[in-house]
């Protein structure tokens, strides 16, 4: 019974998956290497020392269940020391593989490799990069892993363009002379090698892209376009140097900044970044260098910043200096001053409007004038005087019915309601040939102006009367405010005409 139990325990232990080798903190882990392989082909991978004794290294496939790899050569995947072989690889072989090595000094080292297996129709996904240039003759080299396997097993090289065999090409390098668009394709280097009397194949592909032939031009400075650049002291600034080299002219196309004929890459406070740009579909080639001044100093305004561009055949340069940006504060102060001066001038003109009008009135010619012919008839004479009058003065007093009208042309007093008043009111209201000056003496009383004729009330509503400041001594003076307003409303005197004899 004990024997059967022991055998059963042994069978269980042997059938159980093996645990992942311990990865203690003292072990060294090398970087993982990654390979894309084609289904049905074979692959050979070596770590640093392929001649390690088998007992010093253990290979396994990592995953949810650890799969130990054997050293038996009859297995598709097996190893010898530091060399791992994948023969007739299939999709199920994709995964992460690791080797635990114990060095003679008892150090633990882990080696990692990742394998991805693709179908034969996915050749474009497994390329080792692309060859993209405008050279007339193209060189396509066999990818390094394939080249190494071929040398290791003394294999033979063949080349494919797409799926077509290129006869007569059995080197690890393929030259395509006078390459054009018709030569663009995926080129595959195939190595045929023998292991244990069996033939295996390993391949690697590169994609060829043929660019148009370059057209080199004399280097042209695109930026900067100005000899001066505005800047503020203490502020960061970027200077852009862009040059044009031609079409597909990336070869030898460069731009850089110099400060006082010295390159900026080793100067404190400055940094430079560069960028090569080919614009499609024109394929115009530009190179840009951006100079960053971290903090503009007073010395930077004295420096000469040179943008220098070089191409395949020529070079060019331009120099820029920094200029202190002018402050806008003086402009703002000037604007504020002009505004306040304008407001002050407008206030003064408004306050002294009457004085200014009286001052300049003698210089202005009258708007019109009338000649008076001699009259024997009084009514016609009164009407004629009123017609030639340019102003009608109406003096309003507190006493009802005692208001009188003063005709400045004839010095006559016209009683309200009389012929003179009717004619004057007619000319003022209907014909509008004369203007009315209303002067109020004293207070109007509680009745206001309602006792006056409607025509006169209409004139009062159009123009408020000038009030005589009763009891004011200043009002008696000729330059008082009251008399200035009266003179302001009176017509201007005709300017004196100079006699003919005076002109001569």
Looking at 193-202, 213-222, 453-462, which range is the least confident one?
453-462
36: pLDDT strictly greater than 80: yes
In this prediction, residue 132 has a pLDDT band, given cuts at 50, 70 and 90, of confident
Distance of CA 151 to the CA centre of its chain: 57
Three-state SS for 382?
Answer: helix
Compute the distance between CA of residue 19 and CA of residue 9 in angstroms, rounded to an integer.
17
Q: Cα(128)–Cα(206) distance, rounded to whole angstroms?
A: 5
- Supply the pLDDT for residue 400: 44
**Quick one: which of 484, 489, 486, 396 has its CA closest to 445?**
396
Q: What is the mean pLDDT of residues 76-103?
A: 92
What pLDDT band is residue 371 in, cutting at 50, 70 and 90?
very low
What pLDDT digit, counting tens, does each position of 53-85 carry?
Answer: 888 899 999 888 889 999 999 999 999 888 999
Per-residue pLDDT tens digits for 381-390:
777 777 677 7
Angle at 368 between CA 364 and CA 370, to 5 degrees: 130
Confidence of residue 191 (pLDDT cuts 50, 70, 90): very high
Give the tokens for residue 188.
């595959």
Q: Find the length of the chain.
A: 504
Which whole number is the average pLDDT over 439-464? 76
Round to whole Å and give the CA distance between 322 and 303: 8
Q: Six-digit token pair at 210?
A: 């043929």
Per mean pLDDT, which range of 50-64, 76-90, 111-125, 140-154 is the poorest?
Answer: 50-64
Average pLDDT over residues 333-362: 81
Of 402, 409, 440, the C-alpha closest to 423 is 409
Cα separation, 442 vs 213, in Å, equals 107
Torsion angles phi and psi, residue 422, rounded to 5 = -65, -45
Residue 313 in this model has a pLDDT that exceeds 60: yes
Task: Please give the pLDDT value at position 327.
Answer: 64
Query: Is the pLDDT at 501 greater than 60, yes or no?
Result: no
Exposure string (b/e) for 380-406, b if CB count within 10 Å is 16 or more? eebbbbbbebbbbbbbbeeeeeebebb
Q: What integer is the mean pLDDT of 340-367?
A: 76
Q: Is 256 a residue whose pLDDT tops 50? A: yes
What pLDDT shows up at residue 161? Answer: 95
Weakest mean pLDDT among 6-20, 77-91, 414-428, 486-500: 6-20
* Residue 270: per-residue pLDDT: 92
What's the pLDDT band for 134 if we cut at 50, 70, 90? confident
Let me know: does 264 contact 258? Beta carbons within 8 Å.
yes
C-beta of residue 61 within 8 angstroms of C-beta of residue 220: no
pLDDT, average across residues 274-283: 89
Give the range with max mean pLDDT: 146-160, 255-269, 408-422, 440-454: 146-160
| pLDDT confidence of residue 54 | 84
pLDDT at position 259 = 93
pLDDT of 1 > 60? The answer is no
What band does 11 get if pLDDT is binned at 50, 70 and 90? very low
Average pLDDT over residues 180-197: 94
At 13, the pLDDT band (50, 70, 90 cuts) reads very low
Alpha helix ranges (H) inside 29-81: none
Q: Are 453 and 394 in contact (CB under 8 A)?
A: no
For the chain, how big is the Rg over CA atoms in Å?
A: 56
Tell me, what's the pLDDT at 408? 53
Task: Look at 431 and 79; give whichever has higher pLDDT.
Answer: 79
pLDDT in tens, 203-221: 999 999 887 778 888 999 9
Give the integer Cα–Cα distance in Å for 126 and 206: 9
Lowest mean pLDDT among 15-24, 191-200, 374-383, 490-499: 15-24
pLDDT (0 to 100) of residue 17: 39
| Residue 246 tokens, joined | 């031609």
pLDDT for 491 equals: 79
Q: Is the dihedral of CA 29, 34, 35, 36 positive or negative?
A: positive
Residue 14 has pLDDT above 70, yes or no: no
| Region of poorest pLDDT, from 237-251, 257-271, 331-345, 475-489 | 475-489
The answer to whether 247 and 211 have CB atoms below 8 angstroms apart is no
In this predicted structure, the answer to whether residue 120 has a pLDDT above a threshold of 90 is no
**Which pLDDT band, with edges at 50, 70 and 90, does 364 fall under?**
low
pLDDT in the model for residue 64: 85
Contact 81, 70 (CB under 8 A): no
Name which of 349, 233, 368, 249 is nearest 293 in CA terms: 233
Cα separation of the two ends of the chain: 163
432: pLDDT strictly greater than 70 = no
Highest mean pLDDT out of 17-31, 248-262, 340-354, 446-460: 248-262
* Pair 67, 190: CB distance under 8 Å: no
Question: Of the spans 246-250, 316-320, 329-333, which averages the highest pLDDT?
Answer: 316-320
pLDDT(406) > 80: no
Taking alpha carbons only, the member of 189, 183, 148 closest to residue 171 is 189
Contacts of 363 (CB under 8 A, 6+ apart): 495
Q: 3-class SS at 442? A: coil
Q: Average of pLDDT values for 160-186?
A: 93
């Amino acid at each position: 019974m004990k024997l059967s139990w022991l055998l059963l325990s042994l069978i269980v232990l042997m059938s159980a998956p093996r645990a992942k080798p311990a990865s203690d903190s003292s072990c060294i882990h090398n970087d993982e290497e990654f390979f894309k392989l084609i289904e049905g082909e074979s692959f050979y991978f070596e770590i640093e020392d392929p001649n390690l004794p088998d007992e010093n290294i253990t290979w396994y496939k990592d995953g949810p269940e650890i799969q130990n790899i054997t050293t038996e050569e009859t297995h598709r995947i097996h190893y010898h020391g530091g060399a791992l072989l994948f023969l007739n690889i299939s999709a199920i072989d994709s995964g992460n593989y690791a080797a635990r090595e114990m060095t003679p000094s008892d150090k633990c080292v882990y080696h990692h490799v990742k394998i991805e297996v693709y179908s034969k129709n996915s050749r474009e996904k497994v390329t080792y990069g692309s060859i993209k240039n405008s050279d007339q003759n193209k060189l396509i080299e066999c990818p390094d892993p394939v080249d190494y396997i071929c040398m290791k097993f003394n294999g033979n090289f063949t080349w494919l363009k797409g799926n077509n065999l290129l006869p007569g090409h059995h080197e690890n390098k393929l030259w395509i002379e006078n390459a054009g668009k018709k030569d663009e394709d995926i080129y595959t280097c195939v190595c045929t090698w023998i292991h244990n009397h069996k033939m295996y194949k390993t391949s690697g592909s590169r994609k060829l892209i043929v660019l148009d032939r370059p057209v080199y031009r004399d280097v042209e400075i695109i930026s900067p376009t100005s000899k001066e650049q505005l800047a503020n002291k203490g502020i960061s600034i970027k200077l852009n140097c862009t040059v044009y080299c031609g079409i597909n002219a990336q070869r030898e196309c460069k731009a850089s900044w110099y400060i006082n004929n010295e390159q900026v890459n080793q100067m404190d406070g400055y940094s430079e970044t560069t960028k090569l740009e080919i614009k499609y579909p024109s394929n115009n080639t530009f190179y840009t260098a951006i100079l960053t001044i971290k903090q503009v100093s007073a010395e930077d305004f004295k420096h000469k910043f040179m943008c220098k561009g070089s191409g395949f055949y020529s070079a060019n340069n331009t120099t820029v200096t920094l200029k202190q940006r002018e402050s806008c504060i003086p402009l703002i102060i000037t604007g504020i001053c002009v505004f306040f001066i304008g407001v002050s001038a407008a206030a003064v003109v408004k306050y002294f409007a009457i004085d200014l009008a009286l001052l300049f009135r003698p210089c202005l010619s009258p708007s019109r004038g009338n000649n008076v012919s001699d009259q024997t008839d009084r009514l016609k004479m009164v009407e004629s005087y009123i017609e030639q009058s340019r102003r009608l003065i109406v003096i309003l007093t507190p006493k009802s019915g005692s208001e009188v009208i003063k005709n400045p042309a004839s010095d006559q007093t016209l009683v309200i309601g009389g012929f003179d008043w009717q004619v004057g009111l007619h000319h003022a209201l209907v014909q509008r040939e004369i203007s009315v000056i209303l002067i109020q003496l004293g207070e109007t009383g509680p009745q206001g102006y309602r006792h006056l004729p409607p025509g006169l009330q209409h004139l009062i509503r159009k123009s408020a009367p000038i009030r005589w400041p009763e009891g004011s001594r200043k009002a008696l003076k000729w330059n008082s405010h009251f008399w200035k307003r009266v003179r302001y409303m009176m017509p201007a005197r005709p300017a004196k005409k100079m006699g003919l004899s005076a002109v001569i």
